[in-house]
Every structure is written in C-alpha cells, then in structure tokens.
Structure 1
Amino acid sequence: MTTPTLSKIAAACAVLMVLGSCANTIRGAGKDTANAVNATQDAGHKVKKAAQ
C-alpha cells in the first residue's frame, strides 16, 4: 500500500471513532435528560400528595 492510501484509511478510521463517540454522548445526554424529567415528575407527585 502507498502512503496516500494508508493516510486515507487512517483518516476514515479517525472519523468513524469521532462519530461513534458523539453518538454515545448524545445517548448519554438523552438518558440524563429523561432521568431529570422523571425525578421532577416524582417530586411534583410528592408535593401534590403532601398538599392534600
């Protein structure tokens, strides 16, 4: 293989790794947001029960 071919393969691998890590970050942020919403709803229900 020539140097330009190896460079292209290395660049493609780097792009795939970056995109893969972005997808994991987005999934993690989505889970964190969902957990925050659930916690807020639970707190609201507790306050509602306490007020009754």
Structure 2
Amino acid sequence: MKRKVLIGSMVWTLLITLLHIQLNVGFDQLARKVQVMRGERPADLIVGFLPVT
C-alpha cells in the first residue's frame, strides 16, 4: 500500500511538472535554454521584449 502511494505521488508530481513547463515555458523554449547553457547555441539578447541582433 505504501509503495502504491509513493509511486502515485511521484507520477502525479511528474505530470504536474510537465504540464507546468508546457503551459508556462514550452518545451521549445526550454530546449533552447538548455542549448545555451551547454554552449551549443549563442544566447539571444532581448531588450524590451524585442530580440536584438
């Protein structure tokens, strides 16, 4: 019984986390941020919500 509760709460937490990422950030934006952190892509400079080139 305890194992079912633990697994259920872990699955619930994972689903809520994935839903939060999708609705607030989006997986495309998250992937870009990970690429910037890894150094695979240069960081975009954004000033006043407009990208600067």
TM-score by length of 1: 0.46
Q: Which has the higher strand share?
A: 2
Q: TM-score, normalised by structure 2?
A: 0.46
